[in-house]
């Protein structure tokens, strides 16, 4: 099927993306990997008027070790998590888990930010979320009130995930 018509934006910064989401409110949806949003749009179960594609925003993907913690960008794919040497050393369970998520297409396009945003609310979060605001970053815990898959009512958007290093089975 073909999705309903929508307006498309491809912001170049987190600040620009947040501005678009604030401007368009409930009419806007975030697109990153697309494995959750695109299928329901094709079936017309979701008909957003505005799509904000955050897939090209630099700095939202990648994996970095920071002392006792590992920071994983929200746009980091499951495939990148599976193959990353730092994660294999510091968080082997996370790398092993990423290897069995969906099929190869899902692992190549699906992102950890999307998976975290789509998790059922009754399941405890596996990691704390770092949130970006126009004023900087902060840590979100638990189920903050969301206005979109990755943003809260206070204008914070998931930009990366943090996990303690040496997470074991």
**Other CB atoms within 10 Å distance of the CB of residue 105:** 10
Domain of residue 157, residue span: 7-164
The reply to whether 127 falls in a domain is yes
* pTM score: 0.66
The reply to whether 2 falls in a domain is no
The reply to whether 154 falls in a domain is yes
Long-range (24+ apart) CB contacts under 8 A made by 58-65 are: 58/12, 59/14, 59/159, 60/14, 60/113, 60/159, 60/160, 61/111, 63/87, 65/90, 65/165
Q: Is the dihedral of CA 62, 105, 10, 153 positive or negative?
A: negative
The reply to whether 146 falls in a domain is yes
**Other CB atoms within 10 Å distance of the CB of residue 121:** 9
The reply to whether 62 falls in a domain is yes
Give the CATH number of the domain where residue 70 resides: 3.30.465.10
SS3 state at 55 = coil
The reply to whether 42 falls in a domain is yes
The reply to whether 1 falls in a domain is no
**pLDDT one digit per residue (tens) for the chain, 169 residues:** 788 999 999 999 999 999 999 999 999 999 988 878 888 899 999 899 999 999 989 899 999 988 888 889 989 999 999 999 998 988 888 889 889 988 888 888 888 888 877 655 544 444 444 444 444 444 444 444 333 344 544 444 555 555 555 555 4
The reply to whether 169 falls in a domain is no
Distance between start and end Cα atoms, the chain:
42
The number of folded domains in the chain is: 1
């Amino acid at each position: 099927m073909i999705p309903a018509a929508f307006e498309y934006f491809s912001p170049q910064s987190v600040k620009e993306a947040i501005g678009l989401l604030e401007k368009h409110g409930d009419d806007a949806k975030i697109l990153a990997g697309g494995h959750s949003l695109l299928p329901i749009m094709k079936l017309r179960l979701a008909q957003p008027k505005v799509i904000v594609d955050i897939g090209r925003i630099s700095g939202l993907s990648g994996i970095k070790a920071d002392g006792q913690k590992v920071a994983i960008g929200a746009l980091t794919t499951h495939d990148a998590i599976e193959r990353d040497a730092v994660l294999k050393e510091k968080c082997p369970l996370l790398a092993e888990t990423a290897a069995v998520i969906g099929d190869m297409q899902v692992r190549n396009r699906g992102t950890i930010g999307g998976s975290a945003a789509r998790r059922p609310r009754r399941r405890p979060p596996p990691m704390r979320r770092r949130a970006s605001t126009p004023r900087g970053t902060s840590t979100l815990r638990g189920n903050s009130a969301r206005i979109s898959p990755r943003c809260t009512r206070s204008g914070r958007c998931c930009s990366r995930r943090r996990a303690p290093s040496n997470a074991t089975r």
